[in-house]
Chains A and B, each alone.
Chain A
Amino acid sequence: MPHQIEIARHSPISPTTPIADSQAGKVNGCLSALSSHAFSLLKPFLTEVVLHEGTILWDPNKRSADVYFPVSGLVSILIDASDGVSVEVASICGQAAVGTIFELDQSDFSTQAVVQVGGHFLRMPSPQLLLAAKDNSEIQNLVTYCRDWIFMQAQQTAACNAVHTAEKRFCRWLVQAYERMETDNIRVTQEIIAALLAIRRTTITLTAQKLQIEGLIQYRRGKITVLDRVRLRAAACECCDSLSRQHWPSTRLLALRAPKLRV
């Protein structure tokens, strides 16, 4: 049974409200990469919400009218494969935004988005973002880069699923999770990872046990702690490099502004 979206602050954030997770001091990379002028165009429409694990942002029957900027947490974009099995084709964390406006506009081809790791998000109506993008090139870039990011991941995931082993894919998922959420403590169950990667939960259990014996991770129910980032990355497939930091929407937005910032 999916959780309902719980709104922590129903009213738009005040001008003094920081774009940050108050507990972890995190920010959404895309929003913080914008100039103060571009951000001021979006700020009046942003609402801070807390989304719990299992929250469905949209599914094939109900498209989302909003865009979400994760501050903490992780959202999976899933494709329904068959027999009720949904496979992850992209994951979105604090370096990007997520919403159906970044998807293909085809009524008969649709995805599902589920919050896999709960956290703080900033939400705004999609039409307002698209309207702002018409008048501001930075926001237009934000929309383009977030769209690129989903397609890049989908392409890489297709190749990854076809040729890499279950262990390497599991390690890749963990590496991407700790890099994108910027934490070594990943609050996720083995059942969820198994479903996302379309492999048996027992396969994940045995693989996690092997990684734990080797000192790469420690796992308890509902929580995986990364103990050795370097060795975990070495154990993952090369897809980690193909989807690394320089491809994140936040990094690309910052790179565009970098020459101006230096001046």
Chain B
Amino acid sequence: MPHYHFVLKTRDDLIPDRDGSEWPNDAAAQEEATLVAQDLMRNQEAKRGSWRIEVRDQNLLPRAELLFAEIDQTIAHLPPELREPHILASRRIAAFSDALLAVRKTLSEVMETLSRSDAVMAVVAGKRG
């Protein structure tokens, strides 16, 4: 049976699913992602509309991404002209969160590189001395 991983993307974090689990096909994995999203946003629907679950296959390649706002049952009864702006805003917040995460990651890598270069420079300076 195919193996899938469900990655949770909140506004501040990316939570990996290291072990993953087996599901018959992509559709079943996406159904699981929907149920997990409903678990995680229950009673916090307004705040967590921009959270997402990314379904990845056994090679960790993305197969689907689910935006919580799109499956929010508490706004399912609203007409599209009221639902769509909320979904659009949630999607934009999600994109902004991705950008912030990327910046944080780059900064972390730069700090690490600088730290390594300090160590190298210290050795070089020692040899010259």
Contact = CB atoms under 8 A, between A and B. Distances in A.
A206 B42 contact: no
Residue from A165, A200, A202, A205 with most neighbouring chain B CB atoms (10 Å): A202
Contact of A200 (B13, B35, B43): B35
29 contacts: A163-B43, A165-B40, A165-B42, A165-B43, A165-B44, A167-B40, A199-B39, A200-B35, A200-B39, A202-B6, A202-B17, A202-B21, A202-B32, A202-B36, A203-B39, A203-B40, A205-B6, A205-B17, A205-B21, A206-B6, A206-B17, A206-B36, A206-B40, A207-B40, A209-B16, A209-B18, A210-B8, A213-B13, A213-B15
A166 interface: yes
A231 interface: no
Interface string A152-178: 000000000001111100000000000
B19 A205 contact: yes
Contact of B32 (A199, A200, A213): A200
B58 to A, nearest CB: 16
Residue from B21, B32, B39 with most neighbouring chain A CB atoms (10 Å): B39
B36 to A, nearest CB: 5
Interface of B: 6, 8, 13, 15-19, 21, 32, 35-36, 39-40, 42-44
Contacts of A166: 39-40, 42
Contacts of B44: 165
A167 B6 CA distance: 17
B18 A203 contact: no
Contacts of B42: 165-166
Contacts of B17: 202, 205-206, 209
B21 to A, nearest CB: 7
Interface string A201-234: 1110111011001000000000000000000000
Contact of A203 (B16, B36, B43): B36
Contacts of B32: 200, 202
Contacts of A163: 43
A106 B63 CA distance: 51
Given A166-B40, A167-B40, A213-B13, 8 more contacts: A166-B39, A200-B35, A200-B39, A201-B21, A202-B6, A202-B36, A205-B21, A207-B40
